[in-house]
Amino acid sequence: MKVFNPADFAALIAIDWADRKHDICELDQQNNETTFSVISAKPEAINAWANALKQKYNGQKVAVACELKKGPLIYALSKFKHIILFTINPSTVAKYRKAFTQWC
């Protein structure tokens, strides 16, 4: 397994997936700007978004983290060479959320 450093990527992206839409948080590493967007869960929208990333970052690698190990979104993104997928176990995210929730 290759070990990556955040500096290896033009952008760091997190996707919160759903059945109808995907919420996206994108950190552009060059200018340190964060943008938020929403795309449709339809294959055409995912392909258009992935291709737009390739153009925006001149084919450089981008890191995409998603709380899935498999499924339509992972399958759709896995075909793009400029996207490096980081799948996160849902139970890990739930434990992280619980650890950092403040209780009154």
β-bridge mates for residue 85, sequence order: 64
62: tokens are: 């981008």
Query: What is the reported pTM?
Result: 0.87
Give the span between the Cα atoms of 50 and 21, in whole angstroms.
15
Edge-to-edge order in the sheet of strand 62-66: 33-40, 21-28, 11-16, 62-66, 83-87
Closest alpha carbon to 16 in 88, 103, 75, 99: 88
pLDDT of residue 103: 61
66: tokens are: 């998603």
Quick: pLDDT tens for 57-104. 999 999 999 987 778 899 999 999 999 999 988 788 778 778 877 665
Quick: pLDDT tens for 3-62. 899 999 999 999 998 889 999 999 999 999 999 999 999 999 999 999 999 999 999 999
42: tokens are: 């339809």
Give the span between the Cα atoms of 1 and 24, in whole angstroms.
26
Domains, the chain, with CATH or none: 8-99 (3.30.420.110)
